[in-house]
């Protein structure tokens, strides 16, 4: 993200304290934590007299966020302000209109009610804001996505990514959009896989199908940015510099993408299974959480025992701590007595993110993956699924 040169730090606007504080809170997530460049610890304030708006922007060069809010502009211009001090100050101001003025030397005055403060800023000359220009330009690599399904996919998939290394392929969420398969989103950390598929969303843009690996952090901030919006679609654009730009309702997010080849996760999904169980999601989750108290703190292993009579036994045994057992009824079970063990945290995380009455568990052998799929809340029949295709694959561990 290169810099765009500007000459003046003069600026004068009047804005709503609430809207300004909300926008500042949103863009501050892109502020560089420990940067050797002071400008990256600042937030850009850019007033436009023609559009009657004030744009706030921040970036750490990997992620950039911008929000445009309505403003009464008496002096158009731009300046950067230390983000932390500005956020602390604005959050404590009364819910009134506030005035922001900046001198040629980048001294910013913030006035609200009887409060008046001055903060020393920096010229916007060195602030990297080319992502704002890219977001406002047309591109053959642009496409749109429904916000509802993007948020849904993010919530059901992103938690399965590897959070340990930010630059790892497995830290990313793989998003694919094509004219034949539709919208696919997947995440894996090597021990589990979450996969969301909606065939009705087709890629109709220019060029070939789109496939990108988006960092986990980006997906998290995108979800925050989309929260509370009424818009149906979001504009997406892939730049030549391996970046993706999201734009909606005056909000912009630009992020670097993770380069490399994502694992061929489709090959991990078993083609057959001979044990199928349907359980109440909340009852299953509650039993797992109770038993997990006695699970080994390092391995977090618990054991499931499905009985032909329609009962699921959940147990944990850590010799240095103790043991626990719980039992729930199984709505439907097709199979023989069957045992499998896995990390309880991985299963609980999936169940907490789902929003359905029941889940279907598919298994074949104790050391082969267990697959979780949601069932429609209003459905009584096991064939009834949600409006999208979703599965969560979890690798088991050796039982001792």
Q: Any idea what the CATH number is for the domain that residue 148 is in?
A: 3.10.150.10
Share of the chain above pLDDT 90, in %: 78
Mean pLDDT score of the chain: 91
C-alpha pair distances (Å), 28 with each of 31, 55, 191, 247, 349: 5, 13, 33, 17, 28
Please report the pLDDT score of residue 241 as a whole number: 79
Stretches in the chain below the pLDDT threshold 50 = 1-6, 379-386
Please report the sign of the dihedral spanned by the C-alpha atoms of residue 283, residue 284, residue 287, residue 293: negative
57 plus 145 within the same structural domain: no
255 plus 300 within the same structural domain: no
Q: Which parts of 129-168 fold into alpha helices (H)? A: 130-135, 147-157
* β-strand pairing of 115-120 with 210-215: unpaired
Give me 326's structure tokens.
Answer: 């719980």
179 plus 279 within the same structural domain: no
Please report the pLDDT score of residue 208 as a whole number: 67
The answer to the question of residue 234 being in a domain is yes
Residue that is last in its domain, among 133, 148, 164: 133
The answer to the question of residue 149 being in a domain is yes
Give me the domain span that covers residue 89: 11-133
287 plus 381 within the same structural domain: yes
The whole-angstrom separation of Cα 234 and Cα 178 is 17
182 plus 254 within the same structural domain: yes
The answer to the question of residue 317 being in a domain is yes
Give residue for tokens 């009834």.
384
The answer to the question of residue 126 being in a domain is yes
The answer to the question of residue 365 being in a domain is yes
**Rounded to the nearest 10 degrees, what angle do helices 17-27 and 83-91 cross at?**
140
C-alpha pair distances (Å), 347 with each of 195, 286, 343: 15, 12, 7
Give me 330's structure tokens.
Answer: 């199984």
90 plus 116 within the same structural domain: yes
255 plus 298 within the same structural domain: no
277 plus 262 within the same structural domain: no
The whole-angstrom separation of Cα 98 and Cα 110 is 7
The answer to the question of residue 400 being in a domain is no
Q: In 164-284, at which residue ranges do the beta strands (DSSP E only) sit?
A: 172-178, 182-188, 192-198, 210-215, 233-239, 243-248, 251-256, 275-280
276 plus 364 within the same structural domain: yes
164 plus 185 within the same structural domain: yes
Task: Note whether 396 and 371 are within 8 A (CB).
Answer: no
The answer to the question of residue 2 being in a domain is no
Please report the pLDDT score of residue 219 as a whole number: 97
Residue that is last in its domain, among 266, 285, 311: 266
Give residue for tokens 């699921």.
312
Task: Note whether 394 and 347 are within 8 A (CB).
Answer: yes
198 plus 168 within the same structural domain: yes
42 plus 111 within the same structural domain: yes
Residue that is last in its domain, among 133, 151, 180: 133
Give me 274's structure tokens.
Answer: 């001979």
What is the number of structural domains in the chain? Answer: 3
Please report the pLDDT score of residue 205 as a whole number: 58
The answer to the question of residue 37 being in a domain is yes
Closest among 115, 117, 119 to 106, alpha carbons compared? 119
């Amino acid at each position: 993200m290169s810099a765009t040169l500007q000459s003046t730090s003069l600026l004068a606007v009047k804005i709503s304290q609430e809207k300004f504080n909300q926008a500042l809170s949103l863009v501050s997530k892109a502020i560089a934590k420990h940067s050797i460049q002071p400008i990256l610890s600042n937030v850009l304030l850019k007033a436009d007299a023609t559009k009657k708006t004030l744009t706030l922007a921040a970036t750490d060069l990997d992620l950039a966020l911008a929000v445009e809010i309505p403003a009464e502009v008496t002096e158009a211009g731009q300046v950067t302000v230390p983000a932390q001090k500005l956020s602390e100050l604005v959050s404590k101001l009364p819910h009134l209109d506030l005035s922001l003025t900046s001198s040629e030397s980048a001294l910013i005055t913030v006035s609200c009610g009887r409060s008046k403060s001055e903060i020393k800023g920096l010229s916007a000359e060195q602030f990297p804001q080319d992502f704002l220009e890219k977001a406002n330009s047309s591109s053959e690599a642009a496409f749109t996505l429904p916000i509802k399904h993007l948020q849904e996919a993010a919530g059901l998939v992103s938690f399965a990514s590897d959070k340990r290394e930010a630059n790892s392929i497995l830290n990313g969420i793989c998003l694919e959009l094509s004219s034949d398969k539709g919208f696919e989103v997947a995440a894996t950390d090597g021990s589990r896989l979450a996969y969301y598929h909606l065939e009705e969303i087709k890629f109709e843009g220019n060029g070939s199908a789109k496939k990108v690996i988006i960092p986990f952090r980006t997906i998290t901030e995108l979800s925050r940015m989309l929260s509370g919006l009424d818009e149906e679609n979001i504009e997406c654009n892939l730049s030549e510099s391996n970046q993706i730009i999201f734009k909606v309702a005056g909000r912009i997010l630009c992020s670097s993408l993770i380069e490399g080849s994502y694992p061929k996760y489709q090959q991990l999904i078993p083609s057959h299974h001979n044990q199928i169980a349907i359980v109440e999601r909340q009852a299953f989750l509650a039993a797992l959480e109770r038993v997990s108290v006695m699970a080994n703190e390092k391995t977090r292993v618990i054991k499931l025992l499905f009985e032909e009579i329609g009962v699921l036994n959940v147990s944990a045994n850590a010799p240095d701590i103790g043991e626990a057992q719980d039992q729930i009824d199984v709505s439907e079970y097709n199979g023989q007595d069957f045992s499998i063990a896995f990390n309880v945290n991985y299963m609980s995380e999936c169940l907490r993110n789902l929003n359905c009455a029941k889940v279907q568990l598919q298994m074949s052998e104790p050391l082969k993956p267990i697959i979780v799929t949601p069932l429609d809340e209003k459905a009584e029949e096991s064939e009834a699924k949600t409006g999208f295709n979703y599965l969560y694959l979890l690798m088991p561990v050796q039982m001792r």
